[in-house]
Chains A and B, each alone.
Chain A
Amino acid sequence: MSTIGSFALIAALALSGYCFLAGLLALFLSKHPASVAIGETARRAGIATFAAVLLAGIVLVVAAFNNDFSIAYIFHHSNRDLPAAYKFAVLWSGQEGSLLFWSLLLAGYGFVLRLRYKTDQRLFAYASVIIASVQVFFLLILNCAAYPFATMQGALPQDGAGLNPLLQYPEMVIHPPLLYLGYVGFTVPFAFALGALIMKYPGEKWIHITRRWTMVTWCFLTIGVFLGAHWAYAVLGWGGYWGWDPVENASLMPWLTGTAFLHSVMMQEKRGMLKVWNMSLIFATFLLSMLGTFLTRSGVISSVHAFAQSSIGAWFLVFIVLTLGVCTFFLVANRSYLKSEHKLESLVSRESSFLFNNLLLLVVCFTILWGTFFPILSEFVQGHKVTVGPPFFNRVAVPVALLLLLLTAVGPLLAWRKTSLESLKRNFLFPAVGSLAIGVMMIVFGVRPWEDPSFFYATMAAVLSALVIFTVISEFLRGGRVIAGKSHQNLLSAMIHLCHRNTRRYGGYIVHFGVALVVIGILGTPFNKEVEKEMSFGDKISICPYTLVCQSYTQDDNLNYANEWAIINVFRGGKQITTMYPERRFYKASGQPQTLPRIYPSFREDFFLVSDLYLVYEGRNETTGQPIIKAHVNPLVPWIWIGLIVMVFGTIVALVPNAAAVQIAATTPVRVPAHVGAGD
């Protein structure tokens, strides 16, 4: 089995190497008659690379299902009694497998790109060569430094060491693939951008070609990041979802620059501006994706997520420096190609709101990068490491993020080129009054922003989220009313019609709405409550409106793990509302324990101010032998996950093509003023 895998990997390296070199040659000799044929062989080699990497991936998964412990990777990450879904997840649960998975996704993206080459043969040829160069890098690592098909020495073990218990959770089967789809996916817009820069591609067509790629990739990364947060919440048992761990930060950084790119690229499409900026943003996004991989695998930064320290960090470092050098060289050499076509007319305009939005996103990104690397810098300068943990990020990134939220609310109300104060006032009045009312209500209901900075930030976040939500609602209502008036539809149909006429704009608004919901979910953090208690039969815990009564404990055993549950009855207002079963497992193969919290969102009792009742069975007190239960009440957290669903829905709406414009015969000639940008 391992021989087939090894062969497939070597073949993939040879094919991608050929794709890169032959593709490059065809581009250099573009005027030579043989260049077309050479280019075609390069394209086909790229397609064949996908088949070879896919074969290697299939071999590894089949080896996991067959319990082939002669392959060291399978021995270290699987065992006989591991459930089937997790055997599939073995592919990305270790260093070598995850790199193979990364390579497979890249080959898959390359495969689709090379099949669609007729859209623009020359630009696609450049993009294909750039993707092949990244592919060669990953396949070199796989063949030379992180070989997934290495075999065990000596007698064959009867069973494997088992999969890390933290990864034995349904979300772990989908979180890494989605995150990787996001990370890897940014290679495609990066390749098109670099290709367009190298060949001085006229116009903004490369942006139109990559728009859907970028949005889909961004959507994958968004889901991946949020699923990671949800996994941390549902599995790690500390009651939180984001710990500012270096690896979490590594996933957030390309998301931030990718978000900035999605906004600023509209400036280039609509107004031919920010060309250097957009190139730099997509380059940064790709490099930050690589940096995230470097962080996880190099061991330079300690993290609970990190893979074992290995030599591949140096490979990534060289690759990042090399890529940075190439990108900088072409940015400088071809800067004349990136001149803006228009000028900015007013500070109060959509253009400048995009500039400030980009600035704030990048400042947050820089803060995270800075905080992540500061321990290394500190060790270099002071001779000892310092910890840069949640208090730093919360204190520095949160105020900037609030400014960003303000801009999310105000930006869509600004017109391209110039906005009159009168129209701003008219559009802003309802959202501003509504959001201020929310702030006043919070104070009336007992939130005291002056008592603690975290309450102040929570109040600000609530006011600004409300501002975003009211802005989006008012935009839909205004547009919907116009269409309803003209076409005599009801308001809801008119709003759907409106959305369909400009899916990108209104899909974007829906994404903003989702972001506001996510912020609402986060702002409940300062109001979290927790109680920890040893609980015997019949013991009670009171927390917020809940009374928890321990009914019993029970144990179970299966081939993979032994477990113990607490059976806790939950009462509210004297009435039993549910029974919860927080669990603690002991995995036999790895010999590691794992808690599995149980979460009860109170949607039925209080919909808008929903909170999670979060129970953790922490184990037994070694001295008394009594089980310990920790109960958290986390207000508003469910809105984070609802916000994610809304964000994904908004992205899907934005991906839908616009409805065809209605043709109306003009009775009188209309003079259209030149240079008026379309609304978006």
Chain B
Amino acid sequence: MKFPIRFRFWVAQRSSAAISAPSLPALAAAGQRHGKSARRLFHAFILTAAVFLFMGAGDDTARFKDLGHRMMCTCGCGQVLLECNHVGCQSSEKMRNQLQAALDKGGSNSDDLILQGFVQEYGPTVIAAPTATGFNRVAWIMPFAALALGIAFVVYVVRSWKNRPEPALADGITIPRGSELDEFRRKARKETDL
């Protein structure tokens, strides 16, 4: 597993900062202990996310499998390159051989360079998913933007509903609250054993 050097440095810096911060006596209050553990949790989360983001296939077999699943077969079957199962399919066999040859070169032939080579030869539709460049970034951003907007909308709806005035009740009916409601709940649980 390889991380970019800049990223490793950043993680190291952030981790040491997180360790040294609580030594200041003025910041020893209980609230800040919560802050510290929250920050550690945050760092752990970032680190975990980074592990998965920057994780790369190590050996050539894994790289072959990985890259072969990031490209489409160009025979028109609409399948991922390594899943095209047409016997004698000229396209997939040729492409697999090209991919293996590119991997055998090793050295400076990075995954991106290999994919670029395929794009030049077969056109942009050979890549099975939009790249993270230019307008294609929109493809990746939109679903998460929709999720974020959706969450914001739901939170807004929930808050506005909570602040809505109570519906009017018929005379003589009161809604139990606080300890009275808890008493009802206790009785209900006792009677149903739930």
A: residues with CB less than 8 A from B are 236-240, 243, 245, 273, 302-304, 340-347, 352, 355-356, 359, 362-363, 366-367, 370-371, 374, 378, 381-382, 384-392, 395-397, 400, 420, 450-453, 456, 478-479, 481-482, 485, 595, 616, 618-622, 628, 630, 673-675
Q: Are B135 and A381 in contact (CB under 8 A)?
A: yes
Contact B143 A363 (CB under 8 A): yes
Contact A392 B129 (CB under 8 A): yes
How many Å lie between the Cα of A346 and that of B134 in the bound state?
43
Report if B171 contacts A (CB, 8 A). no
Q: Do the beta carbons of A388 and B130 come within 8 Å of each other?
A: yes
A304–B129 touching, CB < 8 Å: no
Q: Are B83 and A240 in contact (CB under 8 A)?
A: yes
Given contacts A345-B162, A382-B134, A389-B128, is CB(A619)–CB(B193) below 8 Å? no
Contact A673 B175 (CB under 8 A): yes
Interface residues of B in 58-82 (CB under 8 A from A): 69-70, 72, 77-80
Q: Does B38 contact A (CB under 8 A)?
A: no
State in angstroms the CA–CA spacing of A293 and B158 once bound together.
36
B194 and A482 within 8 A (CB): yes
Q: Are B83 and A340 in contact (CB under 8 A)?
A: no
Give B72's nearest chain A residue, CB to CB: A387
Residues in B whose Cβ lies below 8 Å from that of A237:
85
User: Chain B residues near A362 (CB, 8 Å)?
Assistant: 150
The answer, yes or no, to whether B113 is at the interface (CB within 8 Å) is no
CA distance A303 to B78 in the complex (A): 7
List the one stretch of B4-12, B25-33, B118-126 in contact with chain A: B118-126
Contact of B136 among A238, A344, A386 (CB under 8 A): A386
Nearest-neighbour CB distance to chain B for A525, whole angstroms, equals 11
| CB neighbors of A among B130-155 (8 A) | 130-131, 134-136, 139-140, 142-144, 146-147, 150-151, 153-154
Is B167 a contact partner of A342 (Cβ separation < 8 A)? yes
What chain B residues lie within 8 Å of A302 (beta carbons)? Answer: 78
Interchain CB contact under 8 A, A453 and B52? yes
Q: How distant is the Cα of A340 from the Cα of B192 in the complex, in angstroms?
A: 31
Number of interface residues of B (CB under 8 A): 56
Q: Which residues of A are found within 8 Å of B151, using beta-carbon distances?
A: 359
Q: How far is the CB of B118 from chain A (nearest CB, A)?
A: 12
| Cβ-defined contact, B77 with A392, below 8 A | no
- Residues of B with C-beta under 8 A to A621: 87-88
Residues of B participating in the A interface, judged by any CB pair closer than 8 Å: 51-52, 55, 69-70, 72, 77-80, 83-85, 87-88, 123-131, 134-136, 139-140, 142-144, 146-147, 150-151, 153-154, 157-158, 161-162, 164-167, 169, 173, 175-176, 181, 184-185, 192-194
Please indicate the chain B residues that have their CB under 8 angstroms from the CB of A273 in the complex: 161
Chain A contacts for B72, CB-based, 8 A: 387, 389
16 A-B residue pairs with CB within 8 Å: A237-B85, A239-B83, A343-B164, A363-B147, A370-B146, A384-B123, A385-B124, A387-B130, A390-B69, A390-B129, A392-B140, A479-B194, A482-B192, A482-B193, A673-B176, A673-B184
Q: Roughly how many angstroms separate A391 CA and B127 CA in the complex, as a whole number?
A: 10
CB-CB under 8 A for A395 and B78, given A237-B85, A616-B85: no
* Contact across chains for B128 and A387 when beta carbons are under 8 A apart: yes
Q: Which residues of A lie under 8 Å from residue B175 when comparing CB positions?
A: 673-675
Q: How far is the CB of B192 from chain A (nearest CB, A)?
A: 6
A385 to chain B, nearest CB (A): 6
Q: Which residues of chain B have C-beta atoms less than 8 A from A630's C-beta?
A: 85
Asked if A674 and B169 sit within 8 Å, CB to CB, the answer is: yes
Contact B129 A387 (CB under 8 A): yes
Chain A residues, CB < 8 A from B84: 238
Measured between alpha carbons, how far is A595 from B89 in the docked complex, in Å? 14
Please tell me which one of the listed residues B51, B124, B130, B185 contacts residue A450 in the complex, with CB atoms under 8 A apart.
Answer: B51
Q: How far is it, in angstroms, between the C-alpha of A366 and the C-alpha of B147 when the chains are bound?
A: 9
Question: Which residues of B have CB within 8 Å of A366?
Answer: 142-143, 146
Q: CA separation between A630 and B87, bound complex, in Å?
A: 11
Would A396 and B134 count as touching, CB distance under 8 A? no
